[in-house]
Chains A and B, each alone.
Chain A
Amino acid sequence: MGTLIEEIFSRKIGRHAYAGEILLVDVDYIMSHDNTTPLAIQTFQEIGRPIYDRSRIVLHLDHAYPAPNVQVAENHRRILDFVRQQRLPHLFIRGVCHQVMLEEGFVVPGAIIVGADSHSNMYGAVGAFGTGLGSTDIAVAWATGKCWFKVPETIRIELYGQPPPGVYAKDVMLDLIGRLGMDSAIYRAVEFGGAYIDNLPVHERLVFTNMSTEMGAKCGLVAPDDRTIAYLESETAARGPFERIRPIRPRYERVIEIEVSTLSPRIACPPDVDNVKPVKEVEGLEVHEVYIGTCTNGRYEDLEIVARILEGRRVHPLVRVIVTPASQRIYTKALRNGLIEILINAGCTVTNPGCGACVGRHGGVLAPGERALTTMNRNFVGRMGSPLAEIYLASPATAAATALTGRITDPRRIMRG
């Protein structure tokens, strides 16, 4: 009995877990990447214990890969040496950690996955408890297999209706963050449901749980259903049977109901992710870079939306349009189906899978005074390089429309029927 997060914890501990309780639980997987692993290695060595279970440790090189400078190269070296010394079986250089975690089958309903990355919340789209932790918690989990958690209260968000053409999960989520605020769910689980979510393909549900981080949430969750299971079976290496965990007579801290049928494309304006406006209100602002990719919107379907808009057209000659597929799997599928060629012919620069420009270290860093429109999940000052650059967040369709005109553009203006 309980909310989805209480149900997940209850299964883990074999008795009813309730919100507010502090638990020490076994974690299924411990994820970290090239940005956070070096610090975890250092702390792990300070703890001075052996690894508890190497098969639970999953490492990725994605944040700045291939290494853009010597310091990053040294970090990669430290990680690879550690993998060899400790004989760790799971090292991936295949794209953004979260997308790869999903594709490689680590993320299944009911799993508890801690990641040294704040967007580990994304795993909740298939009913796993994914949450971000710092490097010390990760090192402790390597050494003990465990982690402490306070079972969070849950905010339930019910979404109804069908958004009009040109409006995507990203627009709905940005609108939600704009209404509720970037600290509206601190320490809370956010459950997404309602007819809109029920009908939504999993690749779009991922946008909601991914960006639950931008509401301050501990995790974002969608109850697994037939769509989830079909997705896991066809798009990932995970093999069932999968548990259909559902909220059972849940008690929510708050229930929010929102109708999405009249929504228009949305954009988060600097300097905060909850500074959300209709795209119409900022249309015409000149941009210098359009960045399409990341764990939020770098999936195959996102590239397809962009390619459909750009096919047979040319992006603005003075705008750098950078497309970074989230994973190698997405990249090869896009190659096979001709999307990459369309993007390149339209004037985009397609980079290797990974976090790319998202962390402001390589792959499209911004100069002072520049303005970027991107499909990322956060627009903090300095995120993409210079603190004097401006970052706008929007859907892949808005990004593609903006790439064509060189100015922030409502995608409905140029979308073909």
Chain B
Amino acid sequence: MGRAWKFGDHVSTDEIIPGRFNITTDPQELAKHVFCEVRPEYAERVRPGDIVVGGQNFGCGSSREHAVIAIRNSGAQCIIAASFARIFFRNAINIGLPVLECPEAVAGIHDGDEVEVNPATGVIYHVTTGKMFQARPLPPFVLKIVSAGGIVNFLREHDLEELMHP
């Protein structure tokens, strides 16, 4: 179970981690500055297992993977959004950070609410109101990457071609 940190529409990678901080590749350093301008208190108060909730087009803008790394290393267990920007979505999958698309859940969840998520099934349980939501299911090959803990881990055990096997 985690607490929801709710954000608006079109949260850009510049807002997640401003350009001046993404010169480092150190995950802990990135996590220290995540959302520093839009939610300055986030980095300090986020607890392991918390959930980032975004609106439309979450993670739009640059391809910087520093953004997903910063969120993952802040302790957040997953991101729920109404929709994700394309590169951000891919980057999150690649590092094994679950991303769930579910506009209904986003509409229902408020900042600070308690939420339980099952990334494998896409079921979102809104503890505060007792409501259940179903996120859009991830394609099987994407689930393979997420359950391996990211594409790097996947490649340690498998060939890329195996992603495409049914």
A143 interface residue per 8 A CB criterion: yes
Count of interface residues, chain B, beta-carbon cutoff 8 Å = 44
User: Is B57's CB under 8 angstroms from A134's CB?
Assistant: no
User: Is A116's CB under 8 angstroms from B63's CB?
Assistant: yes
Contact with B along A318-333 (1 / 0, CB 8 A): 0000000000000000
Q: Which A-chain residue is minimally distant from B55 (CB atoms)?
A: A183
User: Is A216's CB under 8 angstroms from B60's CB?
Assistant: yes
User: Is A24's CB under 8 angstroms from B164's CB?
Assistant: yes
A-chain residues with CB within 8 Å of residue B139 when the two chains form the complex: 22
User: Is B160's CB under 8 angstroms from A144's CB?
Assistant: yes
Q: Which B-chain residue is minimally distant from A139 (CB atoms)?
A: B152
In the complex, how many angstroms separate the beta carbon of A10 from the nearest chain B beta carbon? 17
User: Is A183's CB under 8 angstroms from B10's CB?
Assistant: yes
User: Is A216's CB under 8 angstroms from B85's CB?
Assistant: yes
User: Is A382's CB under 8 angstroms from B57's CB?
Assistant: no
Contact for B63 among A117, A381, A382, CB less than 8 A: A117
User: Is B57's CB under 8 angstroms from A133's CB?
Assistant: no
A56 interface residue per 8 A CB criterion: no
Given contact pairs A22-B164, A71-B24, A360-B18, A134 touches B156 in the complex (Cβ within 8 A): no
User: Is B64's CB under 8 angstroms from A35's CB?
Assistant: yes
Which residue, B87, B91, B155, has most C-beta atoms of chain A within 10 A?
B87
Given contact pairs A39-B65, A148-B163, A381 touches B57 in the complex (Cβ within 8 A): no
User: Is B163's CB under 8 angstroms from A380's CB?
Assistant: no
Contact for A137 among B60, B90, B164, CB less than 8 A: B90
Count of interface residues, chain A, beta-carbon cutoff 8 Å = 50
B95 interface residue per 8 A CB criterion: yes
B147 interface residue per 8 A CB criterion: no
A210 interface residue per 8 A CB criterion: no
In the complex, how many angstroms separate the beta carbon of B165 from the nearest chain A beta carbon? 11
B66 interface residue per 8 A CB criterion: yes
Which residue, A143, A218, A380, has most C-beta atoms of chain B within 10 A?
A380
B-chain residues with CB within 8 Å of residue A186 when the two chains form the complex: 57, 83-86
B68 interface residue per 8 A CB criterion: yes
Contact for A361 among B20, B68, B69, B90, CB less than 8 A: B20
User: Is A182's CB under 8 angstroms from B20's CB?
Assistant: no
A146 interface residue per 8 A CB criterion: yes
Contact for A134 among B10, B37, B90, B163, CB less than 8 A: B90
A42 interface residue per 8 A CB criterion: yes
Q: Which B-chain residue is minimally distant from A365 (CB atoms)?
A: B20
A132 interface residue per 8 A CB criterion: yes
In the complex, how many angstroms separate the beta carbon of B158 from the nearest chain A beta carbon? 11
In the complex, how many angstroms separate the beta carbon of A113 from the nearest chain B beta carbon? 14
Given contact pairs A136-B150, A182-B10, A382-B15, A216 touches B23 in the complex (Cβ within 8 A): no
Interface pairs (19), CB distance under 8 Å: A22-B164, A132-B63, A133-B63, A133-B87, A133-B90, A136-B65, A136-B94, A136-B152, A140-B155, A144-B155, A144-B160, A148-B160, A182-B10, A183-B10, A187-B86, A216-B85, A381-B38, A382-B14, A382-B15
Q: Which residues of B pack against A, CB within 8 Å?
A: 10, 12, 14-15, 18-20, 22-25, 37-38, 56-57, 60-66, 68-69, 83-87, 90-91, 94-95, 139, 141, 150-152, 155-156, 160-161, 163-164
